[in-house]
Amino acid sequence: MGIVGAGPAGLMLGQLLHLQGIDSVILENRSRQYVVERVRAGVLEQGTVDLMRDVGVGGRLAREGMRHDGLYLAFGGARHHVDMSQLTGGRAITIYGQNEVVHDLIETRLETGRPLHFEVADVALDGLDSRRPVVRFTKDGAAHEIKCDVIAGCDGFHGICRPSIPASHLQTYERVYPFAWLGILAEAAPSSDELVYSLHERGFALFSMRSPHITRLYLQCAPDEDVSAWSDDRIWAELRTRLTTTDGWQPNEGRIIQKGVTGMRSFVAEPMRYGRLFLAGDAAHIVPPTGAKGLNLAMADVYRLAAALVEYYRSGREDLLDAYSSRALLRTWRAQRFSWWMTSMLHRGDSDNPFDHRRQLAELEYLVSSRAAMTSLAESYTGAPFEA
Ligand code: APR
Ligand code: PHB
């Protein structure tokens, strides 16, 4: 197996295959340090937590991950609690940074002694519609070629695998939102035990965390927002305005240790396969971060793909491989629907007028007063169990 990309998708796939004795080579164009330090989301569905544990990578996650049984929706000056565990028969989410997930998966991969090459260049695919597809790359100036049975494209949205598929074989669907998130990490103890998603007239804000000492916060901003225009004081003032509720709750403040802007996009490429190339994770689909589905979708994809590959290597049967794309797309579109819904319910749109704001408030008010509506949110947020 050739695996392009050492993000959560590629690394987890490598581990799932390793446990079944299937050889793989993972190729990553960035450095190990870059991959581990890249700050991303941090909400793990129950399925992701279970998978990490089942593949033997869940030790630190079990110790340091923060299990959350619910979340808060804030609007009209009040915080409303959604008890997700109670509504879903015990499903919860766990806060654990994606970069920690990647860190743990890399350590495990290195312990297996199986190949994981960082800082490779010129990665290119060939013979995808043959039985012997090839990955070419250069490392330290020397050219290499790997003849594979199958190639997994786990190289994210900007990778080379999806563009290696002839355009005539791919249908893409896309929505780019007219806003982005300005995100910070602050040295401050979280002032709420669970996440707070807030709708405010000035735009969306989100309270999250990484550890008992680190708070993670986001503000809706312009897609081309210039971070340098945001002094620490300005960020805190805006967060206080958008998050403080009438009971006096607000985030604790502290030294800001990281700032960045995250764009918002919904994207799906269909099918998630061309010949012997299978796409997984961000290489095939992107969701806006509201609802935190990106990492979890990537994990659900590779769980399904690994099961199909194990069946193929064991019996030669290709029916699970043939079903991979359509089955994975079902879950993907469900997550797209949910992420789009959360995003549109909580953000201020470009052309929104006061009617739209009142409509959003009505939707949130309905949501927190209807057990059926809250159950629907809780089911999607905590995520369905992964399927082979
Ligand atoms: N060759 C080799 N590696 C590449 C190439 C290339 N040409 N292009 C990109 N990569 C690497 C990237 O550097 C990255 O480490 O592929 C990896 C893809 O990882 P992610 O972008 O993290 O994607 P994925 O593993 O699918 O995980 C999805 O990541 O973007 C977040 O929100 C998203 O949480 C979701 C998760
Ligand atoms: C995060 O903690 O980074 C986070 C939490 C919830 C989201 C997105 C990101 O919906």
pLDDT in tens, 242-253: 999 999 999 999
Is the minimum distance from the CB of 184 to ligand 2 under 6 angstroms?
Answer: no
Taken in order 54, 316, 6, 195, the sign of the CA dihedral is negative
Annotated catalytic, 139? no
Q: What's the whole-number mean pLDDT along residues 296-323?
A: 98
Which ligand 1 atom minimizes the distance to the CA of 161?
A: 7
Say if pTM beats, i.e. exceeds, 0.85.
Answer: yes
CA of 34 to the centre of ligand 2 (A): 20
What's the pLDDT at 7? 98
Tokens of 293: 């589905």
Q: Whose CA is nearest to atom 1 of ligand 1?
A: 29
Q: How far apart are CA 329 and CA 165, in angstroms?
A: 17
Q: pLDDT for 152-189, tens place per residue?
A: 999 999 999 999 999 999 999 999 999 999 999 999 99
Catalytic residue among 8, 190, 288, 289: 289
Catalytic residue among 18, 68, 80, 347: 68
What's the pLDDT at 39? 87
What's the pLDDT at 376? 98
Q: What's the whole-number mean pLDDT along residues 59-64?
A: 98
Question: How large is the C-alpha radius of gyration of the chain?
Answer: 21
Annotated catalytic, 354? no
In angstroms, the Cα distances linking 312 to 161, 287, 319 are 22, 30, 8
Name the percent of the chain lying above pLDDT 90: 98
Residue corresponding to tokens 């940074």: 97
Q: How far apart are CA 1 and CA 153, in angstroms?
A: 11
